[in-house]
Chains A and B, each alone.
Chain A
Amino acid sequence: MILSQSIAPGATVEGLAPEDLRAVAGSVPAARVALMVRDPLILIRGLCALDGRVGAILLLSHALPAETAVALAEQAGCSRILTDADIARLPSGPASAPEVETEWLMTTSGTTGMPKIVPHTLASLARSVRPHPDAVWGLIYDPTRFAGLQVVLQALIGGGRLVVAQGSPAQQVAALAGCTHLSATPTWWRRVLMLPERPQGLRQITLGGEIADQPTLSALAAAFPDARLTHIYASTEAGVGFSVKDGREGFPADYLTGDIRIEGGVLWLHGIDSGDRVERDGDRVRFLGRENGMMNIGGVKVYPEAVESVLLSVPDVVMAKVSAKRSPVTGALVMAEVKLAEGADPDAARARIQTASRAALVREAVPAIIRFVEEFHVNAAGKIVRS
């Protein structure tokens, strides 16, 4: 399967010419390439031009630190990192150019250490694409992430029109006028619920990237009575898991067959440990959080250890424990409990913690709540007990 040959008849992307989707690169800069592109439209052009022409495409978010991007490209055997300008300069070639099966390399997100590279193929990524020639798809997600790429492939291969919405939520809502199918995080949808302007004419609302909770699902059902409401469970590692269409949080227990099962309180998908803790409650299965303590702050994954190590680098911080505090707006917030050295000034320490966190961490990982405590529960090995 090659992307430029799989574009549905009539599929269009607002801001791109039809030939941009069907042109392949006449020559390629390297056998394996990484793409680190800021403009989603240029990224889409690059994917169409390069799939089938290079051995591998590594998709890197433009938000990654440069040294992380270089290390990932090296690890993936990609000798070039292509940016917006490089894609714009790619020469187009004859449609009969030689073809290879391109590996699509996605990366896991998160704020600790190095993201993990997860290999896919176009066929595996496009597994859930269905024909929808009349749909107008809104792209809000980063298209280098799994959820965003799903929207792009659905529009290109399944048909319809793709609209890329950028800027603030109010600007996005304006850009999405006429959009029929829209996929975004629960945090994005909650934000739209708190704005007077609403996207009109939506037929399909999809939530993903975070656990969808009942208040958000119920409020969306009330605000968009004519739209179908679906929440998706997926992961970069396992691909699309399943979707839930009954407007209730969690998923029906009768989904638990074969490929989807619970082992030791954790959800397994296609034989892969998802790391998500779940609980069966009668005919429903509900999500309880991550096994490794990873927090999801409005769709951004944050590991407590990464935040703790920053806190511990601050003078006067003796011990630190980071956990998630539930938030009705972003699902969770980062809460830090900190023990200070004897006699330390809490106000000065708070300011130093904030400065150090903002310098070292993405915004979502900066502790929103800092509490000073006298003692922690420690176990026999001297480690702080996580509840």
Chain B
Amino acid sequence: MAKKVFGRPESLKETYFHYCPGCGHSIAHRLVAEVIDELGIRGTTIGVPPAGCAVLAYNYFDIDMLEAQHGRGPATATGIKRALPDRIVFSYQGDGDLAAIGMAESFHAANRGENITVIFINNAVYGMTGGQMAPTTMLDQRTTTSPAGRNKILDGYPVKVSEIFSQLQGTTYVERVTVNSPASVNKTKKALKKAFQCQIDGLGFSLVEILSPCPTNWKMTSVASCKWIDEVMSKEFPLGVFKDNIAAVKKPAEAAS
């Protein structure tokens, strides 16, 4: 008998993703679903999809989900989590959602140390609306609303979410990863698992920022997009763990119990 080494996670519905070829969302979705399966939390998890390319995430995740308005995911997730503290709640957000229109909601949910997990897909553009400039668009990067390239005088600078959020006293775990190679996909899964475990253990706010290719709006091939993340994007947005207070938060919690 052949040994099954790979299969569809139970937390993913039997359907095709609508995402473009080479998009990072489908990988991120699968990783989240795998982590939910492995942690045995499918029945207790409630997800909050954003406005953006992942707005239809409830067509893919086989878990309870509540759609949020653009940027309001962390506020909606706060409401769910405070009402049902023993459920696992995550918000899935893009760069426009988190770092532009929903910066206030995201920042303050993090600052309150809400015991939720935010999965942040950073692809440096507004994907669903057709490739406009995002808060995380790189300097000189051409988009439909920065046709001459992002100009720091007119448009400001790429917003570094992991760096900013790691400075907030309310956050426990913040890591930036990517999904442009098998090794980085494995690393991303580990980060997601750590973030969800952090929440399961009641240790506070966790955020995983995923640098994610958008070949369609970057106007590159899938392979070139993966390369661009290595050569350009990750220079502006360095990968790594920006904050890991899990052990420090755990200790007093254990001492108290």
**Are A and B associated in one complex?**
no
Residues of B within 8 A of A (CB): none
